[in-house]
Amino acid sequence: MTSRTIKVLLAEDQSMVREALAALLGLEDDIEVVAQVARGDEVLTAARDHDVDVALLDIEMPGATGIEAAAQVHKELPTIKLVVLTTFGRPGYLRSAMEAGADAFLVKDAPAAQLAEAVRKVLAGERVIDPTLAAAALADGANPLTDREREVLRAAADGSTNAELAAALHLSQGTVRNYLSTAIQKLAVRNRAEAVRIAREKGWL
Amino acid sequence: MTSRTIKVLLAEDQSMVREALAALLGLEDDIEVVAQVARGDEVLTAARDHDVDVALLDIEMPGATGIEAAAQVHKELPTIKLVVLTTFGRPGYLRSAMEAGADAFLVKDAPAAQLAEAVRKVLAGERVIDPTLAAAALADGANPLTDREREVLRAAADGSTNAELAAALHLSQGTVRNYLSTAIQKLAVRNRAEAVRIAREKGWL
DNA sequence: ACTGCCGGATGACAGATGTCATACGTCGAC
DNA sequence: GTCGACGTATGACATCTGTCATCCGGCAGT
């Protein structure tokens, strides 16, 4: 397997970016993009159908996030190496990606050369992560929110009122307020809007 | 000028995406990327220094938005054709881009082939806009918010409290609430969080 | 000169939100 | 088998937010 080309699956929802990344990887002699998908929930089947060495997964995708897709592939096809790619350098994303079995974590504002580099490195068994981001992830610690707090906060993110949240989540209004209150305190902020913002920034939402 | 290659300036903050787009355009025989910048406020000088035919501008950039950059270039170097590229198909963005003198407006989830197409078309004097988005822009009408309302809403977007907004904008708390109240009514929503969300979606923020 | 809109402000009021104490059942850890 | 964490709920309370009426000065249009 020394001289075979590396077969890459590319998952990214924005066509223009996806095809541009494919063009970029296509410039490398030892890399071949054998499949492209635009949705997280198409990654697993594409991976099964195409004898893939490395899957390159964007996080923000419809259907399923790249992290969810990574977890699926890691479970079913553990020999496939996983590179997670994202616009947002959120510490919590890095943590979840690693827990999902990712071998590399790249942010899109890193130099393009790192992409092909990462593909080669993960195939050689190395792990590739941004040291700055790794430090931030460790400094932040784990997500302090419970499942329910996170759900409520996520639902509250669009500006829904307590009554709407209660109805949507089958909870009492008081309970909704309790969850939001504890989330607000855990994140050390003053209202739900700030809580949403901070949780998003950290990648905890 | 029939057979000369088209000289393109590429402005996009995410290195990986920028270089990938450059690779994509580089595959076209008649197109050459002669300059790349990562900030909106570097577009004008780069355009002056490089004898550019077409500038390809992402909207979301540090320093200045692609729309602001487009306006600057349109004013100083009106012969340069302007293609505005964005992740978000927000009707208000299209409107502002057109007002800034843009010749084409593309969203990043359009097929990659449209990029080179658009470059050629604008150079031929055509305008390129997504018809769906154009319809949405016309249906939405113009931004109904006044300058002040927009400023206050933008400042409120991070979850700041009325007191903080008042201090930051040198207004009384009551005035802040009045502006937010009128914004909320104009956008036909129920609270500031929804107002922020809707204004963002429309590209009015 | 008048009208209307904008920026700015006040005060009063109703309703939404955030806090706190308290309670109960379930479940996993020790 | 007890303890702690979690999910869920209630009631009371203080504060924040959103609405409304009303006011003022400036400035653009007619």
pLDDT of residue A155: 95
Which residues are bridge partners to A35 per DSSP?
A9
Question: Do B36 and B63 touch, CB atoms closer than 8 A?
Answer: no
pLDDT of B139: 84
Residue A140 (CA) to nucleotide C17 (C1'), in angstroms, measures 28
Q: Are B35 and B46 in contact (CB under 8 A)?
A: yes
Q: What percent of chain B has pLDDT over 70?
A: 99
Q: How confident is the model at residue A2 (pLDDT cuts 50, 70, 90)?
A: low
Q: What is the pLDDT of residues A104-149, one digit of tens each?
A: 999 999 999 999 999 999 999 999 998 888 898 888 888 899 999 9
CA distances, A36 to each of A20, A33, A55, A79, A185 (Å): 12, 7, 10, 19, 43
Q: Report chain B residues whose CB lies below 8 A from the CB of A84.
A: none
Q: What is the mean pLDDT of chain B?
A: 93
Q: How far: B23 CA to D27 C1' (Å)? A: 53
b/e per residue A8-30 (b: at least 16 CB within 10 A): bbbbbbbbbbbbbbbbbbbebee
Through-space separation of residue A172 CA and nucleotide D10 C1' in angstroms: 10
Angstrom distance (rounded) from CA A137 to CA A149: 21
Beta bridge partners of A173: none
Question: B191 CA to C29 C1', in Å?
Answer: 44
Nucleotides, chain C, CB distance < 7 Å: 5-12, 16-21
| Residue A129 Cα distances to A65, A84, A85, A102, B21, angstroms | 19, 10, 11, 10, 24
Whether nucleic acid strand D comes within 7 Å of the CB of B181, the answer is yes
- pLDDT single digits (tens) B156-189: 999 999 999 999 999 999 999 999 999 999 999 9
CA distance A160 to chain B (A): 7
Shortest distance, CA A3 to any CA of chain B (angstroms): 25
Nearest CA to CA, how far is A22 from chain B (Å)?
8
The number of angstroms, rounded, from the C-alpha of A165 to the middle of its chain's C-alpha atoms is: 26
> Given the structure tokens 């419809």, which residue do they identify?
A62
CA B108 to chain centre: 12
Domains observed in chain A: 6-138 (3.40.50.2300), 147-202 (1.10.10.10)
Q: Could you give the CA distance from residue A65 to residue A43 in angstroms, rounded to a whole number?
A: 10
Mutation site for B-interface testing, chosen from A10, A13, A17 by largest number of B Cβ within 10 Å: A17
Q: Which positions on strand D lie below 7 Å from a protein C-beta?
A: 5-12, 16-21
For A156-180, how does the pLDDT look when each residue is reduced to its tens digit (9 = 90+)?
Answer: 999 999 999 999 999 999 999 999 9
Q: Are B57 and B85 in contact (CB under 8 A)?
A: yes
Per-residue pLDDT of B38-85, as tens digits, reads 999 999 999 999 999 999 999 999 999 999 999 999 999 999 999 999
What confidence score (pLDDT) does residue B2 get? 54
Report the mean per-residue pLDDT for chain A: 94
Name every chain B residue with its beta carbon within 8 A of the beta carbon of A161: 190-191
- Cβ distance of B190 and A159 shorter than 8 Å: yes
Interface contact A20-B24, CB threshold 8 A: yes
Instruction: For residue B50, give how far its alpha carbon lies from the nearest alpha carbon of chain A (Å).
Output: 23
Residue-wise pLDDT for A50-83, tens only, equals 999 999 999 999 999 999 999 999 999 999 999 9
Looking at the partner chain, which of A24, A106, A161 has a beta carbon nearest the beta carbon of B19?
A24
Any strand D atom closer than 7 Å to A165 CB:
no
